[in-house]
Amino acid sequence: MTGAELDPGEITAGLQLAPTVAYAPEPTREFRSGAGIWALIDGPEPDGTHIADQIARLSQQLTGHDAAINELRKRNYRVEILVTGWIENRRYLDLDLESLKQLHAFGLPVNFTVHREPSAVDLFFDEMANRG
């Protein structure tokens, strides 16, 4: 959740959830022109956890909070789900139908960012390029 007038304490009280990250607006912050942020984050680094498990945990946390989420959206907060995945040796993010249904259930915008871990072949060619 982000917003120029975001009050992290107000959002925590409204949702009755503790955020992983919460910052009041700060004009000098580069993120979204200094907007405040309130977020639930699960696994920001590649740790072997399948993305479906992370989406299921997020869904469990948000279930029952629909009214509070909709109220925050009415107050012009940007409320969205950001899915960041790490992949290795493949060029696609494997997401099952159940995970997609869970994301869709909240009626929120969902944005995807995929980071590809370098494969052994990538590392080999990088090493060869650096030798010459």
Q: How far is it, in rounded angstroms, from Cα 85 to Cα 44?
A: 9
Q: Tell me the pLDDT band of 28, cut-offs 50, 70 and 90.
A: confident
The whole-number pLDDT of residue 119 equals 67
The whole-number pLDDT of residue 22 equals 92
The whole-number pLDDT of residue 91 equals 60
For residue 12, is pLDDT > 90? yes
For residue 45, is pLDDT > 70? no
What percentage of the chain's residues is helix, strand, coil (to nearest 5)? 40, 20, 40
Could you tell me if 115 and 83 are in contact, meaning their C-beta atoms sit under 8 angstroms apart? no
Q: Tell me the pLDDT band of 111, cut-offs 50, 70 and 90.
A: confident
Q: Taking the model in full, what pTM does it have? A: 0.71
Q: Tell me the pLDDT band of 43, cut-offs 50, 70 and 90.
A: low
For residue 15, is pLDDT > 80? yes
- Phi first, then psi, for residue 47 (nearest 5°) are -130, 10
pLDDT single digits (tens) 85-104: 666 665 666 788 999 999 89
